[in-house]
């Protein structure tokens, strides 16, 4: 193998999406011990309340369809390793495996009236077309975009149900609850800020095509 290729792999191998052998390194658990009632189901993942903690939820997928969820796990671990902290990113409590499943535990955003711990929870889709709230929502979205660029946080899946506004004890947050990380096998946008900014700007423009009222 050429020297330059060995050097390239040595630098980037830890950042390439984990394969199934590496997945086996995740601690094995029993889903019945942590999964409460189901919160939702997407094309690949399922999401459940955590049985013991009202501020956490459990997300998992079949190992054979694990690429997306492994990407998210890798990205959460990357942010933790780099010391990147942001209110727009859910807290991450670790990954796990169970027979033919792989998943992770993250912060859960449910209102107290729904069994959660937040005073209020509101998805963007619910208020996007409320004219009286436009300026307030616009400011929150501007602040969110600024936070993504400043801390080079990559979010692939920006839409009205994925961006939520929450408050607890008079602390307000705008959170992207799903779809974090990059799709590239070698995630250059998370390594090089100029590439990260370009990707964030592209994703934001795609988001504004759905919500042009926030394009100013």
CATH number at residue 65: 3.30.200.20
d(Cα 187, Cα 101) in Å, to the nearest integer?
24
Statement: the pTM of the whole predicted model exceeds 0.85? yes
Confidence tier at 3 by pLDDT (50, 70, 90): low
Q: Does residue 9 belong to any structural domain of this protein?
A: no
Q: Does residue 100 belong to any structural domain of this protein?
A: yes
Domain with 193 in it: 17-214
* Count of the separate structural domains present in the chain: 1
The whole-number average pLDDT for the span 23-32 is 87
3-class secondary structure, 113: helix
* 57 bridge partner residues: 49, 106
Q: Does residue 24 belong to any structural domain of this protein?
A: yes
C-alpha to C-alpha distances, 29 to 24, 36, 69, 94, 124, nearest whole angstrom: 12, 14, 17, 12, 34
Beta-strand (E) ranges in the chain?
A: 35-41, 46-50, 56-62, 92-98, 101-107, 120-123, 163-168, 171-176
Q: Does residue 200 belong to any structural domain of this protein?
A: yes
Q: Does residue 10 belong to any structural domain of this protein?
A: no
Q: Does residue 54 belong to any structural domain of this protein?
A: yes
Share of the chain above pLDDT 70, in %: 90
What pLDDT score does 213 carry? 93
Question: In the chain, what is the straight-line distance between the N-terminal and C-terminal CA atoms, in Å?
Answer: 52
Q: For 31-45, 59-73, 91-105, which range has the lowest pLDDT when averaged over its residues? A: 59-73
Q: Does residue 145 belong to any structural domain of this protein?
A: yes
Confidence tier at 15 by pLDDT (50, 70, 90): very low
Quote the radius of gyration of the chain (alpha carbons, Å): 18
What pLDDT score does 136 carry? 95
C-alpha to C-alpha distances, 103 to 40, 157, 209, 213, nearest whole angstrom: 14, 18, 32, 36
Q: Which residue has the tokens 């309340």?
A: 49
Is the pLDDT score of 128 beyond 60?
yes
For residue 131, give the DSSP letter.
G
What pLDDT score does 18 carry? 47
Side-chain half-sphere of 87: how many Cα atoms within 13 Å?
A: 15
Is the pLDDT score of 159 beyond 60?
yes
Q: Does residue 6 belong to any structural domain of this protein?
A: no
Is the pLDDT score of 5 beyond 90?
no
Number of helices (H), then strands (E), in the chain: 8, 8
List the structure tokens of 98: 């169970």
The whole-number average pLDDT for the span 76-92 is 95
């Amino acid at each position: 193998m050429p020297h330059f290729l060995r050097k390239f792999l040595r630098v980037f191998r830890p950042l390439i999406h984990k394969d199934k052998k590496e997945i086996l390194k995740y601690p094995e658990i029993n889903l019945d011990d942590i999964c409460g009632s189901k919160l939702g189901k997407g094309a690949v993942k399922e999401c459940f309340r955590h049985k013991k903690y009202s501020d956490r939820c459990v997300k998992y997928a079949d190992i054979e369809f694990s690429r997306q969820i492994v990407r998210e796990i890798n990205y959460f671990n990357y942010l933790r390793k780099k010391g990147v902290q942001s209110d727009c990113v859910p807290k991450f409590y670790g990954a796990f495996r169970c027979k033919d499943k792989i998943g992770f535990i993250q912060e859960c955003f449910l209102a107290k009236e729904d069994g959660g711990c937040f005073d209020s929870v509101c998805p963007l889709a619910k208020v996007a077309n409320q004219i009286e709230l436009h300026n307030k929502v616009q400011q929150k979205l501007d602040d969110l975009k600024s936070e993504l660029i400043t801390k080079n946080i990559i979010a692939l899946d920006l839409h009205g149900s994925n961006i939520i506004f929450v408050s607890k004890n008079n602390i307000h947050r705008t959170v992207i609850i799903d779809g974090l990380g990059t799709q590239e096998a070698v995630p250059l946008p998370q390594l090089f800020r100029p590439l990260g900014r370009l990707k964030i700007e592209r994703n934001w423009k795609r988001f504004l095509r759905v919500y042009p009222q926030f394009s100013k």
